[in-house]
Chains A and B, each alone.
Chain A
Amino acid sequence: MTDPIALDDIDRALLRHLSQDAGLSASALGKRVGLSQPAAWRRVQRLQEAGVFSGARLDLDLAALGFGVTVFLGVKLGTKGRVSLADFERAVSAIPEVQTVEHVLGLYDYRLRVTARDIADFERVLRRRIMTLPGVANVDANVMLSEERLPGPI
């Protein structure tokens, strides 16, 4: 692995602002951290080139759009029969209601974040799409009540 990119306090402030609002212009960012527009642009450019941003996420009021339920699923695959992880990953990623898929070590093999219109809709997704995936042995579901995202160590 290559060395992590070095950040100073201004870089960290830029990251904090962008993780709140990815659409900020270089001049707006510059004003907030006390830099000229070109200087802010150059710094953001350097961060971008180093791959610090893996993308942007749209912040939507999902409940207002009719997605009232988010469920975290822990999925355990069957040990017998040697299921192909690649097959499972491909199939689970293709389900539109599945937002994230993470391969984990511990009690479960995969952690999924699933969004649905309501509990009945979630049950449909679970029964028809998730339980029928290749190799699924055991599924543990936790319905999300609240979520907070924090800026992280920057």
Chain B
Amino acid sequence: MFDDTDRRILRQLQEDPTISTAQLADRAGVNAATCWRRLERLRERGVLRGARAVIDWQVLGFTVEVSLRVTLDKTVPRAFEDFAAAAREIPEVLEIQTFLGQVDVRLGLIARDLAHYQALYRDSILTLPHINDLEALMHVARIKTDETVPL
């Protein structure tokens, strides 16, 4: 499936996703043609979907970041779908994850400041459908954010 060359290439690419193929080949210790071919194959197989720019929301004036951990009323058949569809409509929601565990859904939410957060919470979050319980974790600092995997 994947050999050490693929893994080496992906490992280097994880470190610097916008690197040129020539530089990547150099760092992974393969020739440029091989590197290009391997990347092409990883893309074709859907393993490598691309690179996404990560926005620093603080710089854009969003200073508050909150994790909302939600438990849903599972007696409602479409609770997950309804909740996610409504949450998707809130522009300040950056992430929606569903879980197996105590928490059903997590929303990653940003706001300009605490007053904005309070308004969002009251007007957009508490009005989401089928919420049973809701708890908020306020982000203080990001310690590690690379989101790489040990390939």
Contacts and interface: CB of A to CB of B under 8 A. Distances in A.
Interface string A9-42: 0000001001111110000000000000000000
B92 A152 contact: yes
A23 B145 CA distance: 20
Contact residues on A (Cβ < 8 Å of other chain), bracket? 35 or more
Given A60-B48, A96-B150, A52 B56 contact: yes
Interface string B134-150: 01111111111111111
Contacts of A50: 59
A113 B51 CA distance: 20
Interface in A29-85: 50-62, 64-65, 67, 72, 74
A149 to B, nearest CB: 6
A23 B50 contact: yes
B30 to A, nearest CB: 18
B144 A23 contact: no
B61 A105 contact: no
Contacts of B55: 15, 19, 52-54, 152, 154
Interface string B106-128: 10001000000000000000000
B132 interface: no
Contacts of A102: 67, 139-143
A89 B67 CA distance: 19
Interface in B30-68: 45-57, 59-63, 67
20 contacts: A22-B17, A58-B17, A59-B50, A60-B10, A64-B46, A65-B10, A72-B97, A72-B103, A89-B143, A92-B143, A100-B144, A100-B145, A100-B146, A101-B143, A104-B137, A107-B135, A107-B137, A111-B139, A113-B147, A154-B55
